[in-house]
Chains A and B, each alone.
Chain A
């Protein structure tokens, strides 16, 4: 902590330093600010704000912008006020220890007095510094007394050559700045041009006696390290004073960063108190802000003035990237080096240490092998766990405190109050956890969610039974414990969709689900089952998903199935049921396939008739489609090795005691959350925990599935058929127009195979590798490049090609690869050409992948080709 002499006991010479005056003024302001802030009388009549403004004029990085902790303010005031009791020499020493270096336009003092009596006390102090702290010595001396700033000093042994140079200097009367036994080589542009060696004056101080060893071995080692640092430090020329690399701010940051890292480590070991750690962190933040500002200042100066908007934007980009590289990445670099160093010091077994380092490297390689999306999910799934869930928990804590306060003031007996207190604490702990977990689900979407859900699940699994307690009414559908956790990933961009002509809810849902590996592997009947369930759900709650109030959709409207796929448990339950009950050859499968066939047959034969809610029951009247038995029953928990257990409705009367183990888990999690809560800045980032969301979740979790099981059978069939209506419209249209051609396709058993082969060949054209003599040959569809592009949304890929590539929604890394890969470029051009060939008839759906679209596009072109051939054959026959 900085300490300085007071005006009354300044050593001689100090009072003339402009920097000192400024510092002293700042200290006085600081003292007055602190006294006022702490309601301690002071002679300063200005307001806190006015004093603060004055301080900011002297120091734009005023740390009190961020410090609000009363204990810190009190400690700091004590420090400031205790400074007056130090001797002037001690204060000067402290000042020198903490003195920032650079002061421009300082009077040059090239010629130093040769005797102590002619020197200022400050210089005398510098001499002492030089004995044990050569880095400070060299840096501060030049900074504060001026001198040639283009030189740097490197301590060295005196050689004959050096002595010769010194002799020459003495003879020529050349001034020598540094008063020390040590010699400093002079460098200009890395070329040694001489040495400086001022003879230290005679002194009574034994520490500076020429013939004494006045540094211990430890100090010597320290000095050697400092000397090494000096070698790397180049004192700036005035032209470079705005560069940040070797600035005072950068030096300060490095020091405070290391202090902070050490303080954090000491705090974890219980060696220092929270206040000390906080001070260290505040210092670091202050230095970080100053270093960042120095970078901004440097780059702005470099860029010049009067920038236009484009150049200004470019400059900001450059500033931010520089700040990130210089400050944030450096932070991690130093921190990781510290961790590894700690590992080396604390791991007694060197083999274990080596293994850990090797494992670190292995993990890094593994990580580098992940896609960008996977990396993102991995990182922000984890980070979301602690970063996005605090405010609701904080609210609950306040509510808990209020309730406890009321309890204290109640007229209950001691025993009753004790019992009630325990109940309140348990209730809120569990409530906090549940809200935390729920928020994790709500606030984390996309790829990150799946990781998060995995993390969340681990905690959920260890919570007490749901039946035991119900503060938040969280009734998640349970899963059979024997079902392995399934990651349900749906790209959020797929969940919203602008409806195109001819599309149906069924189709849109199918295109979303087609991106899920598990769904893709399902049989037709299983898929039908899942789609029926979800389509029904959509139609029953149309407003939640952007459907019209009657469950239909309109071209140009926007559907949003985010809420539907938000509850991955429900989706998983539906998947599980589909796979478990609609097995190959099962009655359920037969039933579904039969119904599908009936509708298809009906459509084929009735091109002009309307398929609607009235006709569908007639079509299906002899055998109902998906029966009640096949509906998912997420309210039934299948216990391993035992009969299914129905979850009973929860009530206060059925509260079970919380198990010790579960309670420990609760406590642990709450502690973690509370810990994190204390460290996170939440200004302006409150997470809304409104009841609507909770109600919705409860509705999804509790009500919908049960209701669907009990729904009237006919209503279900109607709703389901209604969904199919739109789905089959395309088939109906095709039936109208191309019935003969359709039959021709159906009769052609090789059609699907031909289409697949045509597709593979097409991809080979662009991505295939021929290899040499057959070795190294790789089909296009198997290449990484194809895999990279095949699953991307085709709309975005085409947008990238046809629009401003830099404005496309594609991931920047993908854009970069596109721009660098001629194969991708050629393929996208080709795809664009094929679309033109269809005369614009085949357009990509918003959620369609490149692969799906190319297959559909190819199918259309092949079908058109066959149709022409067929018509040609007919024409030939007629002619004949």
Chain B
């Protein structure tokens, strides 16, 4: 991760005062939370056929995660908005609370 990118993420999530190692750990944890909530909402937005296709894609993709992103982007209306909302929610939950 580049220093600049790291700084941006750290600033957005209120992690500026942490050392870089701690920042990295926190960013990863936040990433996990982000993924969970985005997926929960994405699945809620799926109908039966999309669910089936998604399950197949999940099996086929293995660890080729871009395939999953691509699928969600194409098949879930407003996927970008979901990501945006979830990220903002997490930013709100983390901003200004750390030592």
Contacts and interface: CB of A to CB of B under 8 A. Distances in A.
Interface of A: 281, 284-285, 288-289, 292, 296, 316-317, 319-320, 323-324, 327-329, 331-332, 335-336, 339-340, 342-343, 352, 355-356, 359-360, 362-364, 366-367, 369-372, 374-388, 443-448, 450-451, 454-455, 458, 485, 487, 492, 669, 672, 675-676, 679-681, 684-685, 811-812
A454 B69 CA distance: 8
Given A359-B51, A446-B2, A672-B84, A382 B66 contact: no
A385 B87 CA distance: 10
A391 to B, nearest CB: 11
Interface in B19-71: 21-22, 24-41, 43-44, 46, 48, 51, 54-55, 58, 61, 63, 65-66, 68-70
Contacts of A363: 39, 43, 58
Given A378-B68, A492-B2, 4 more contacts: A378-B35, A455-B73, A455-B80, A675-B81
Contacts of B44: 339, 342-343, 356
A807 to B, nearest CB: 9
A716 to B, nearest CB: 33
B70 A356 contact: no
Given A359-B51, A370-B65, A374-B63, A324 B26 contact: yes
Contact of A382 (B43, B83, B96): B83
Nearest to B12: A387
Contacts of B25: 812
Given A281-B92, A320-B26, A336 B32 contact: no
Residue among B9, B40, B51, B92 facing the most chain A CB atoms (10 A cut-off): B40
A458 B40 contact: no
Contact of B37 (A339, A356, A448, A672): A339
Given A323-B98, A685-B8, A676 B55 contact: no
Given A378-B35, A381-B69, A362 B58 contact: yes
A380 B31 contact: yes
B66 A332 contact: no
A330 to B, nearest CB: 9
Contacts of A316: 99
Contacts of B66: 450-451, 454, 487
Contacts of B97: 288-289, 292, 323, 327-328
Contacts of B70: 454-455, 458, 485
Contacts of B83: 382-383, 385-386
Given A363-B58, A679-B88, A377 B34 contact: no
Contacts of B11: 684-685
A336 B37 contact: yes
A185 to B, nearest CB: 37
A297 B70 CA distance: 45
A676 B35 contact: no
22 contacts: A289-B96, A289-B97, A292-B96, A320-B99, A327-B97, A328-B93, A332-B37, A355-B48, A370-B65, A376-B31, A380-B5, A382-B87, A385-B84, A387-B9, A387-B12, A443-B5, A448-B1, A455-B70, A669-B80, A676-B81, A676-B88, A685-B12
A681 B69 CA distance: 26
Contacts of A681: 12, 91, 95
B37 A328 contact: no
A741 B9 CA distance: 54
Contacts of B89: 331, 335
Contacts of A380: 5, 9, 27, 31
A288 B38 contact: no
A324 B29 contact: yes
A167 B46 CA distance: 63
Which secondary structure characterizes the binding site on chain B? helix
A320 B97 CA distance: 8
Contacts of A362: 55, 58
Contacts of B37: 332, 335-336, 339
B13 to A, nearest CB: 9
Contacts, number: 205
Which secondary structure characterizes the binding site on chain A? helix
Contacts of B96: 285, 289, 292
A356 B74 contact: no
B58 to A, nearest CB: 5
A672 B5 contact: no
A387 B87 contact: yes
A443 B6 CA distance: 10
Nearest to A811: B24
Contacts of A292: 96-98
B40 A379 contact: no
A451 B73 CA distance: 11
A343 B32 CA distance: 21
A147 B63 CA distance: 60
Given A320-B98, A363-B58, A812-B25, A676 B74 contact: no
Nearest to A257: B93
Contacts of A288: 93, 97
A356 B32 contact: no
Contacts of B12: 387-388, 680-681, 685
B40 A340 contact: yes
A383 B32 CA distance: 12
A450 B69 CA distance: 11
Given A370-B63, A676-B88, A317 B38 contact: no
B51 to A, nearest CB: 6
A364 B36 contact: yes
Contacts of B4: 443, 445
Contacts of A296: 99
A370 B90 CA distance: 22
A262 to B, nearest CB: 14
Residue among B27, B54, B89 facing the most chain A CB atoms (10 A cut-off): B89
B34 A383 contact: yes
Given A377-B65, A379-B31, A812-B21, A386 B84 contact: yes
A332 B36 contact: yes
B71 to A, nearest CB: 10
Contacts of B65: 370, 374, 377-378, 451
A296 B85 CA distance: 29
Contacts of A455: 69-70, 73, 80
Contact of A443 (B8, B92, B94): B8
A371 B63 CA distance: 8
A320 B22 contact: yes
Contacts of A448: 1, 5
B9 to A, nearest CB: 6
A367 B33 contact: no
A317 B22 contact: yes
A328 B35 contact: no
Nearest to B19: A313
A672 B80 contact: yes
Given A292-B97, A380-B27, A458-B70, A356 B43 contact: yes
A444 B92 contact: no
B8 A285 contact: no
Residue among A320, A362, A812 facing the most chain B CB atoms (10 A cut-off): A320
In the A-B complex, list the 6 residue pairs whose CB atoms are closest, starting with the nearest.
A379-B31, A386-B84, A292-B97, A676-B84, A331-B93, A319-B99
B74 to A, nearest CB: 6
Contacts of A342: 44
B84 A444 contact: no
B99 A327 contact: no
